[in-house]
Amino acid sequence: MPADKPSFFVIDDDSILRTLIRGILTDAGLEHAGSASTGEEGIQGCQDKSPDLVLLDINLPGSDGIDVLATLRQLRKPPKVIMVSAEATLPRVKAATALGVDGFIVKPFSAGKLIEAVENALRY
């Protein structure tokens, strides 16, 4: 991990998963910038907090993670984004890749896989 303690924001409608990700990444030395359960709340939180990294669920209530990714890419300081989903279908992966997603994690995942994906995303 970089020495300057990167910040992360979690956008996922599953509160247990948000808590799990927060615990794993803060234990790994990252700073938790915030969490949201909807795409709209997540976009607002990212505008307010300017995190270095966003972990984004592909299926959110009232919005699509791909649309949220597109909006995050338009921010003044766009964060690195890792998509987190149980639905890693080829069309969804292609859509996220076309928007420059920095990583993909399929649920369920281990702490090691999450940390590896985060390290890779922050490295580039």
Q: Is residue 70 part of a domain?
A: yes
**Amino acid 3: pLDDT:** 53
Which residues span the domain enclosing 37? 7-123
61-64: long-range contacts (C-beta < 8 A, 24 or more apart)? 61/13, 61/37, 62/38, 63/38, 63/39, 64/39
Total tally of structural domains belonging to the chain: 1
pTM, whole model, 2 decimals? Answer: 0.93
In this structure, are residues 58 and 66 in contact, taking their beta carbons and an 8 Å threshold?
yes
What's the rounded Cα separation, in Å, for the pair 112 and 92? 24
Tell me the CATH number at 64.
Answer: 3.40.50.2300
pLDDT 10s digits, 61-108: 888 999 999 999 999 999 999 999 887 778 888 999 999 999 999 999
pLDDT 10s digits, 15-61: 999 999 999 999 999 999 999 999 999 999 999 999 999 999 999 98
**Amino acid 61: pLDDT:** 86
Q: Is residue 1 part of a domain?
A: no
Q: Is residue 94 part of a domain?
A: yes
**Amino acid 2: pLDDT:** 45
**Amino acid 48: pLDDT:** 97
